[in-house]
Amino acid sequence: MKKKYFLIILFLILAIFLSGCLEAKILSANVVIERWYQNYNEYLGEWSDYIQVWYKIFNTGNTRISYYRVWFTAFCEDGSSYQDWSGSGLFLDAGDYDFRTCFMDIGEGKRVTSVEATDWELEYWNYPVQ
């Protein structure tokens, strides 16, 4: 009888230990555009060919994001749109955020009316313990 209880307790301890080790890694994030800006040259009467986008990326998953890249789409007054991606970011811990800036080439004579974060790529790199 003691052997049976011992095996049950041993099995429960092993199950508790393994459940902590085998937790699923969830990669997820939210991107919020804080603001964007396109310069207007009053002397020439022209909009800048570039816009600057300030954004925050929040790690909403349960593990570190080892690498990320964010794509933005700028919508112009004439109905055209342009897509570009921000410089890649590294190592964003779970529950943390990073504040970044992206410069987008819009094209000559275009006036941007809105900007959206349209996609992002997240990766987790599992390095072996050394």
Which conformational region is residue 63 in: left (phi greater than 0), alpha (psi within -120 to 50 degrees), or beta? beta
Stretches where the chain sits below pLDDT 70 are 1-2, 5-7, 10, 12, 15-23, 128-130
What pLDDT score was predicted for residue 7?
66
Using CA atoms, how far apart are residues 10 and 29, in angstroms rounded to an integer? 39
At 110 the pLDDT is 93
Threshold 0.85, pTM exceeds = no
Specify the pLDDT at position 70.
96
- Cα three-residue angle 63-69-72, rounded to 5 degrees: 130
For each of the domains in the chain, give its residue range(s) and CATH number, in order of start. 25-123 (2.60.40)
What's the token pair of residue 46? 């022209």
pLDDT of residue 6: 65
**C-beta separation of 89 from 102 below 8 A:** no
**Amino acid at residue number 51:** I
Q: How far apart are CA 38 and CA 112, in angstroms?
A: 7
Residue 85: per-residue pLDDT: 92
